[in-house]
Amino acid sequence: AQSVTQLDSQVPVFEEAPVELRCNYSSSVSVYLFWYVQYPNQGLQLLLKYLSGSTLVESINGFEAEFNKSQTSFHLRKPSVHISDTAEYFCAVSVRGYNKLIFGAGTRLAVHP
């Protein structure tokens, strides 16, 4: 069975500071990895995904995540956050060949001025 652990339930940070949201997964088979974002009172949106190839993936709004197979991690980073990045971030995996997503518990990122 697969599982996802997001080590921080809440991350407070000041505007323009760097941030890292941690995600570790457990799986005996190959997985695809995802980060989803849920802004206040909105639905889940895909932020970025790792399917294969380069282990560093980037989003259009400055986030990046790196797949580390040896550490079974897929941490999300941004060098300088904005107030508008305040949201809940979910790490998820799916097993190759099966589409259901298995989510972590989520990390609430609160960006303060």
Binding site for other proteins (CB under 8 A): 32, 34, 36, 42-46, 49, 51, 90, 92, 94, 98-106
> In whole angstroms, how close is the CB of 63 to other proteins at the nearest point?
16
State which residue, 97 or 113, has the beta carbon closest to other proteins. 97
Asked if 35 and 101 count as a contact pair (C-beta separation under 8 A), the reply is: no
Whole-angstrom distance, CA of residue 42 vs CA of residue 30: 31
Asked if 19 and 11 count as a contact pair (C-beta separation under 8 A), the reply is: yes
Name the residue among 85, 64, 65, 73 with its Cα closest to residue 17: 85
> In whole angstroms, how close is the CB of 57 to other proteins at the nearest point?
13
State which residue, 14 or 98, has the beta carbon closest to other proteins. 98
Whole-angstrom distance, CA of residue 3 vs CA of residue 71: 14
Q: Which residue has the tokens 């972590």?
A: 104
Measured in degrees and rounded to the nearest 5, phi and psi for residue 75 equal -75, 145
State which residue, 19 or 92, has the beta carbon closest to other proteins. 92
> In whole angstroms, how close is the CB of 36 to other proteins at the nearest point?
8
State which residue, 45 or 84, has the beta carbon closest to other proteins. 45
> In whole angstroms, how close is the CB of 18 to other proteins at the nearest point?
26
